């Protein structure tokens, strides 16, 4: 094994990837949803069975019946980061927040003391396929923050920093973290109670792409404290990419020594690009008790979470459907604390005679 790679773990064919503290969960969704043929209902032709995670199918319905996705379900004690690359997602929650986002947008939700939300994947487009690629990541909260008020943030794709090497053969999308930020560019601020809101915790979530003939160096961690760093090869594993001088030819999770720089090189003759996800942060180092959608420090707190949810429904569900989606022509939007915003319009092209 190379100096920077501590160990390599083969990724599962489907389901969650292995993660290190402070992360709890990471799953990569890649679904080739077809064009909408339901006359604007944004539904698939064949209904789901309520639990469709078939890794060999072109797409999955997950817990959706007619629209793929995850109808309303509760969370407590951690945060969700949904980082998108392709496709659109409809979000609704028990606080009354909502949104349609995707195509590079990032949603960050602090569940805190309890929230119910749904994440659906409506077939918005009837004139082309509705391909979907995204990461769903759970970031833990320390005990002192597990019962904070829920919060919700949306970072439109135009506000997400993207670094490119001089030859443009490698790029890094900075979903979180103080890395690969050019002069006068700052990272988007995580929600105030997030473990990532303290720079000393050195949390980073990066999407790295390297084209044939390209190279890039992941710098060592900014913090001198013990930092957990995982690098996942998610696409292009047959290209024989070199990571810290070692050829990697399968989809793996690489546990890295965060005190070392990590060079990544892809031969000019490679047939396709490679893509990586990097997750890193200072460990919280607290006991983790988890049962389904609740993550606390003790089993007693898990029992309290179930009782609280049964009693209060975490504020109830204010939407007319469990699998809430918005009109087909709604476009991307975020409804936060009663105020609706939309992504900024691209600058108009200048015309010259």
SS3 per-residue string spanning 130-184: EEEEEEEEEEECCHHHCCCCCEEEEECHHHCCEEECCCCCEEEEEEECCCCCCCC
Q: What is the pTM of this model?
A: 0.95
Q: What pLDDT was estimated at residue 284?
A: 98
Q: Is residue 273 within 8 Å of 262, Cβ to Cβ?
A: no
Predicted confidence band at 276 (pLDDT cuts at 50, 70, 90)? very high
Neighbours of 64 (CB within 10 A): 25
Residue 352 in this model has a pLDDT that exceeds 50? no
Neighbours of 59 (CB within 10 A): 20
* Residue 123, SS3 per DSSP: coil
Measured CA to CA, the distance from residue 153 to residue 334 in angstroms comes to 9
Sign of CA pseudo-dihedral 142, 148, 152, 158: negative
Alpha helices in the chain (DSSP H): 299-312
Q: Is residue 61 within 8 Å of 68, Cβ to Cβ?
A: yes
Give the pLDDT confidence of 4-53 residue by residue, as tens digits. Answer: 999 999 999 999 999 999 999 999 999 999 999 999 999 999 899 999 99
**DSSP assignments along 202-226, one per residue:** --EEEEEEE-TT-EEEEPPPS-SS-
Contacts of residue 22, defined as CB under 8 A and 6 or more positions apart, other chains included, come to 139, 140, 195, 201, 203, 228, 281, 282, 283, 284
Contacts of residue 109, defined as CB under 8 A and 6 or more positions apart, other chains included, come to 79, 80, 82, 93, 115, 117, 150, 151, 152, 153, 191
* Mean pLDDT value of segment 266-274: 97
* Mean pLDDT value of segment 176-201: 92
Give the pLDDT confidence of 121-133 residue by residue, as tens digits. Answer: 999 999 999 999 9
Q: What pLDDT was estimated at residue 187?
A: 83
Residue 50 belongs to what H/E stretch?
none
* Residue 304, SS3 per DSSP: helix
The mean pLDDT of the chain is 95
Measured CA to CA, the distance from residue 315 to residue 300 in angstroms comes to 22
């Amino acid at each position: 094994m190379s100096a920077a790679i501590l160990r390599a773990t083969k990724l599962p064919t489907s389901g969650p990837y292995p993660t290190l503290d402070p992360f709890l969960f990471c799953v990569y969704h890649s679904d080739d949803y077809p064009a909408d043929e339901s006359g604007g209902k944004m539904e698939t032709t064949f209904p789901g069975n309520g639990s469709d995670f078939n890794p060999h199918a072109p797409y999955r319905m997950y817990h959706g019946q007619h629209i793929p996705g995850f109808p309303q379900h509760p969370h407590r004690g951690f945060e969700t980061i949904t980082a998108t690359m392709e496709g659109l997602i409809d979000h609704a929650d028990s606080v009354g927040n909502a949104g349609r986002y995707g195509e590079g947008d990032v949603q960050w939700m602090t569940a805190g003391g309890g929230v119910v939300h749904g994440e659906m994947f409506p077939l918005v487009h009837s004139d082309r396929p509705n391909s979907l690629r995204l990461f769903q990541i759970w970031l833990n909260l320390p005990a002192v923050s597990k019962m904070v008020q829920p919060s919700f943030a949306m970072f439109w794709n135009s506000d997400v920093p993207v670094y490119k090497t001089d030859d443009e053969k490698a790029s890094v999308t900075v979903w979180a973290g103080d890395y690969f930020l050019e002069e006068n560019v700052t990272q988007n601020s995580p929600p105030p109670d997030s473990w990532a809101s303290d720079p000393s915790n050195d949390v980073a979530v990066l999407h790295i792409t390297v084209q044939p003939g390209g190279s890039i160096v992941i710098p060592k961690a900014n913090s001198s404290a013990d930092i957990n760093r995982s690098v996942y090869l998610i696409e292009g594993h047959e290209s024989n990419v070199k990571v810290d001088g070692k050829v990697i030819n399968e989809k793996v999770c690489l546990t890295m020594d965060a005190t070392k720089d990590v060079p990544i090189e892809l031969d000019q003759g490679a047939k396709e690009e490679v893509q990586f996800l990097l997750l890193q942060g200072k460990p919280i180092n607290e006991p983790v008790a988890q049962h389904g959608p609740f993550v606390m420090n003790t089993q007693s707190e898990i029992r309290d979470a179930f009782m609280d949810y049964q009693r209060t429904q975490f504020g109830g569900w204010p939407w007319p459907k469990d699998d809430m989606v918005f009109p087909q022509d709604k476009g991307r939007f975020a409804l936060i604390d009663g105020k609706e915003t939309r992504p900024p319009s691209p600058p108009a092209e200048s015309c010259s005679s």
